[in-house]
Amino acid sequence: MDPLTLAALVGIVTTLILFSGIPVGIGLLMVGVGFIWIFDGASALPLLPEILFSKLESFEVLAIPMFILMGAVVASSRAGGDLYSVLDRWLTRVPGGLVISNLGACAIFSALSGSSPATCAAIGKMGIPAMRERGFPSSVAAGSIAAGGTLGILIPPSVTMIVYGISTDTSIGRLFLAGLLPGLMLTILFMAWSLYSTWRQGNASVALASVTYSWKEKFEILPRVLPFIVIICAVLFALYGGVATPSETAGVGALFCLIVAMIIYRMWQPSKLWHIMRDTTKESVMILLIIGAAGLFSYMLSSLFITQSIAQWITALEVNRWVLMGFINLFLLISGFFLPPVAVILMSAPILLPVIVNAGFDPYWFAVILTINMEIGLITPPVGLNLYVINGIAPDIRLQTILKGAMPYVLCMVVAIIILCFFPEIATWLPETVIGGR
């Protein structure tokens, strides 16, 4: 069978299996094993366990459960509420201080937890009622939190970036640095739209400070969140200062988060610790299964010459490289509507990266573009996980209202992609400055 025809068949079968509701990891295993069995015969099957586990042998993989543990500790504590309170008290006199506080809290908390749903739940429980109470439109209140929760997969340390690094053999430290400035740029775009939307709907007065806090009230809550901020700074310093590897940094960061939570929030009860370890194990096993299954899936594509044929076909098109990038963005955008970011990255990045590099694009810049596309998928139907999380914590806000409020933030992400296309240095300058040449 022609490799391109076979590629179309694999694509159709994979889509049908994943849309059937089967877990992504199991679905990829079924497709990989099935096509290898059919085209390479049963004699190839004994090699598959070795291929599956070879993807999990890398020491860098250890960073994933450690960062997930770090996030689970933060998400299980009251750190989200305290973080929101700190920003609210310190930014109350800034025009639009409340909405800026919410988005700032989302950015910091998502960097701590690395989980979009956890960020939406933690910040939304306090932020949405407070914004609505002070007169912000429900669409702005819900949409800003839903969008702010997506920042965790871009702002370092990001599990999604680790997965990209593992699947493409690129430097995780460089990926973290590449996502930092675009993450801050996206946060600023979110804040700007929130303030403009409030003013446009005739609610300009609510953007002004209506509550004041004394200096005592501002300082008394700082000790509850400063240790977590210090941990983030220490993790980033260890990564970029060459002090430790990502896996070592993740392990130390998780340990210190656990110690801080036990001291500040008194989370030393066995039941609470068991809850944290259980959630960490479930999410880690899910991601590691997808990584292993995607490794076997990639081996199947390579052994049947599908990957090579697709790359050659795309290269032979001889279209302008920006037209090519446009089609790739469209593919990533549609994939993100239906699949979780980790699955899309593991399935597509190994195929797309050679094409991207041959077209003259920077692989670390492309990682940022890919991640922003995945962020869009988190707040757009039919999956749109963050939309349903917001609906769960604010059931009186209709899903249509949340979606309406989230759509402008999708446009903000599209604008961010366009800006990065014109100014790729936003993603590439920091890695080159801090780490140097590749």
> Which percentage of the chain shows pLDDT scores above 70?
93
Query: Regarding predicted confidence, which is higher, 143 or 93?
Result: 143
pLDDT at 94: 66
Distances (CA, A) of 330 to 24, 32, 274, 352: 21, 25, 42, 13
Using a CB cutoff of 8 Å and minimum separation of 24, what contacts does 3-7 make?
3/304, 3/305, 3/306, 3/308, 3/309, 3/310, 4/309, 4/310, 4/313, 6/39, 6/304, 6/306, 7/301, 7/306, 7/309, 7/310
pLDDT at 211: 65
DSSP 318: -
Cβ–Cβ < 8 Å for 350, 168: yes
Single-letter residue type at 117: P
| Mean pLDDT value across the chain | 82
Question: What ranges in 221-268 are assigned the alpha helix state H?
Answer: 222-240, 246-264
Q: Residue 150 above 90 pLDDT?
A: no
pLDDT at 21: 75
pLDDT category of residue 413 using cuts at 50, 70 and 90: very high
Q: Residue 307 above 80 pLDDT?
A: no
Q: Residue 225 above 80 pLDDT?
A: no
Q: Residue 239 above 90 pLDDT?
A: no
Distances (CA, A) of 77 to 113, 117, 120, 265: 11, 15, 14, 7
Look at residue 142 and give its three-state secondary structure.
Answer: helix
Cβ–Cβ < 8 Å for 160, 345: yes
pLDDT at 6: 86
pLDDT category of residue 368 using cuts at 50, 70 and 90: very high
Query: Regarding predicted confidence, which is higher, 382 or 397?
Result: 397
Tens of pLDDT, residues 27-47: 888 988 999 898 888 888 888
Cβ–Cβ < 8 Å for 434, 177: yes
Query: What is the C-alpha to C-alpha distance for residues 278 and 286, in angstroms, rounded to an integer?
Result: 12
Q: Residue 418 above 90 pLDDT?
A: yes
Tell me which residue of 377, 307, 397 sits closest to 348, measured CA to CA.
Answer: 307
**Which H or E run contains 411?**
helix 399-422
Tens of pLDDT, residues 160-191: 888 898 888 888 888 988 998 999 999 999 98
Q: Which residues contact 257 (CB under 8 A, 6 or more apart)?
A: 69, 70, 73, 74, 112, 228, 231
pLDDT at 4: 78
pLDDT category of residue 207 using cuts at 50, 70 and 90: low
Angle (deg, nearest 10), helices 138-148 and 97-113 = 30
The arithmetic mean of pLDDT across residues 297-310, rounded, is: 81
Tens of pLDDT, residues 62-87: 888 888 888 788 777 777 777 777 87
